[in-house]
Every structure is written in structure tokens, then in C-alpha cells.
Amino acid sequence: MDGGLFTSSKNELILRRKINYHMKLKLVYLLLLLISLQNHLEAQDTIINRSQINSILAADSQVRIVNLNPFITLHVDSVLSYKLDINKDPLQYYWFLRNAPVGLKINKDDGLLSFKAEKSFFLSGRLKYDYEYKVRVGVQNLHNSNDRVDTSFTLVFYNTEIIPSRVKPSVNNVLFVDEGDSVSFKVQCEPGSYPIENISTSTSLPINEYNAVNKCDEEFRWKIPFDFIKEGDTAKQRLLTVNFIGTNKFSTKDTATVRIYVNQALNYPQRNTEYARVLKEFNLYILQLKFAFKELDKKVKKTKNTRTTFDLVSGTTALGGTVFSTMSNENEKNIGRILPGVGVALVPVKEAVSPVKSYEQNSASLVRTSIRRLEYSVSDNALNGDRDPEILQKTKKLKDDLRQTQIQLIDIPTLDADNLSEKELNNYFNNPKVNKKYKVTKN
């Protein structure tokens, strides 16, 4: 029994080994099958991809630049060397540029772009910093003019050395002006790496009627009013500070300052108007005095005529009495005795009827003298043009003379000249007979 059991166990072990061996063979076979299938599929994909690539290459018959950079940035004093390639045989094509900036070149045979950004180009103004140069580049077949391509790229130059832009007015930074004058000057700009784009204007004092500056080369204008310096200012001078603040695109600022010293000056339009008003009052008062003189002179003249008549009658009566007293007739002698008494009696009658107008006579003389003095004052204080520097003194002198005469003649009634014109009053005042009457003579 022990021998039979041993034999049975041995057979089972052999059977299991056989089964495991067959299974391993199947697995190896399956693995080889999978590897073979994978290689077959990869080979098919390679054939398909190659056929697709060949078909695409066959269809791509248009020439193209395959390595063009659309945006190129160069530093000053740097060198550019960039070869352009196409999808065709380069020996059958040539290259060219349009709108190229100064110094940019291309080799027509192999498409090699070359450029040296020398600083002299920028200092002379032939090239600019931070300016986008749009360069057109083209390639064309040597034998077929239709086989070509045109495209473009942008070229920009930059500089790490910043040159500041300056605001520069066209005048000195200190100005001296007078009231009533006008200030006008241009605000210019010195260009640097980044030009000034905007300018703002600020003043130290609030002012009106001025033209602010917003851009380069604009003009600053200001009409200085006569009341810029107030009456209470003891310095007779006022300072106005004007700041022009320029700003570039990076908000970097530059400020230019102009100091304007304003001196006090006469307001000639206003002073001329005031002088004309005083002169009008002056001439009107002279006319009123001339009319008053005419009325006073008439009274004096009428009284003088009446008294002369009485004197002639009295003298004639006395002379007649003398004549009649020499007559032989007694009645005529009696008349001669009576007539001298009549002549004597006429004297008090003359004084009662026409007393001497000494007040009127003196008043007329005083008025006439005052008129002459006022006329001389007008002539002496006449203006020398529209901007007479002594206009204030002359206006004050006219006012003082007018006030002094009005006070001196305060008792003389000054009426309107009625219907008499200025010419008629002047003719009467300058009449030779009237002048002779009031003329001072030597005894």
C-alpha cells in the first residue's frame, strides 16, 4: 500500500508539470502574437503618415517664409543678423525690402537681414527711439514673377540711456512789465528720448483773460489789468509765478518757471475819461461865469448911462442959468436965477434914481478876472497826448482851481446861459469896448 500511494502521487506531480508547461507555451505564443500585431499596426501607421506628408508636400506649392519674426526689437549700437528661410529651393528665388529704415539691408540671394543700430543715426534724427518701423519684405521666383510672397514685420529701437525732454519758454525766466501791458511768448520743448506730450499751466495768483498752454509751441498770452495791484499795496509791485509742467507718456515731468514782476501803472483810459469830465465841468462853469459877467455888465452900463444923462441935464441947467442971467429982460434973468438951483436939485435926484453900482462893478471885475485865470489854467494843464505822464497832477490842478474859484465867487449867482451860445458869450466877453472898460490904465 505504501508503494501504491507513492506511485500515485508521483504521477499527479508529472501531470501538473505537463499542464504548467503547456500553459506557459500558450502564454508565450500569445505574447508573440500581440507583439507581431503591434508591429504590423505601427508599420501601417507609418505608411499612412508618410503618404499624408507626401500628399501635403505635393499640395504646398506656394512659396512661404517659414521663420519670419513679426516683431523685432533692437538696442542702440547692437547688430542684427537674421537669415530668412523659405519652403522652396532658395537658389531659385531672390529677396527685397520696402520702407526699410536707414541701415537695414537684406542679401538678395540668401535672405540674410543685417543692421547695425549706430547712435549717429539717432543723434542726427534719421532714426527715432520707440517708433514702430513697419518694414515690408518680399521674396520672388527668378523665373516666374507670379511665384512670390509679400509680408511685413515691425522693427523698434530702444535705448537704455534716457535723454530727458525739457520745457523751454522763448523768454527769460524773469520779466518786468507794467499794468495795462500784454505778455506774450511761446513755450517750446527740447525733444529727448521720450517727447513731451502734454503741458499744464499753473499760476501763483488767480488771473483772468489769459491763454493757457497745453501743447509744445503754443503761445502764452495775458493782458495785465490796471487793477492788478490794489490801492493798498505799498510795494507798488506784484509777483506772478507761471509754471509750465510738461509730461511724457511715462508721466515723467519737467517744469519751467517764468516770474513776472508787474509794476503799478496809470490806467490811462480811465484817467483820460476823468480828465475829460473835469474839463467839461470846468468849461461849463466858465460859460456860466461869462453869462453872469454879461448880466452884471449890463446893470453897470445901464446905471452909467442914467447917471450920465442926469449929469448932462444938471450941467446944461447950470449953464442955461448963467446964460439967462446975462439977458436984459427981467423975466429971463429970473429964469437964470432959478436954473442953477434946478441943476443942484438934480444931483440928489440922480443919486436916488440911479445910485452908483459899485458892488456890481467890483463883482464884474472879479468875475472877469476869474474867467481869465480859469482859461489860463485850462491852457496850462492841457494834455500832451493820450498817455501824458502828468495827467494825475493836471487833473488835480484843474479840480483845485475850479474849487478855489467856486469858493471865491460863492456869492455870485451862476445861472444857465439862457439861449446864448458859447460863441455869443465869447464874442461879448472879448468885445473891445468891454475890454477897454475893464482894462487897467495908468493915471
What pLDDT, on the 0 to 100 scale, is given for residue 419? 59
Q: Compute mean pLDDT per 10 residues along the chain, 443 residues long, and list them.
A: 48 68 72 75 59 51 84 84 88 89 89 86 83 91 88 86 87 91 92 87 90 92 86 81 92 92 84 87 81 70 54 56 58 56 52 50 75 86 84 87 83 61 66 60 51
Q: Please give, one letter per residue, the 3-state secondary structure of 272-331.
A: HHHHHHHHHHHHHHHHHHHHHHHHHHHHHHHHHHHHHHHHHHHHHHHHHHHHHHCCCCHH
74 vs 365: CA distance, rounded Å: 103
Q: What's the first-to-final CA gap in the chain, in angstroms?
A: 208
212: β partners: none
Give the pLDDT score at 183: 93
Distance between CA atoms of residues 324 and 330, nearest Å: 10
Q: What's the Cα-to-Cα distance from 111 to each of 25, 70, 107, 277, rounded to whole Å?
A: 65, 15, 5, 90
Cα–Cα distance for residue pair 282/212, rounded to 1 Å: 47
Q: What is the DSSP string of 75-126?
A: ETT-EEEEE--BSS-GGGEEEEEESPPTT-EE-TTT-EEEEE--HHHHHTTS
Res 222: pLDDT: 93
- Mapped onto helix, strand or coil, the DSSP state of residue 415 is coil
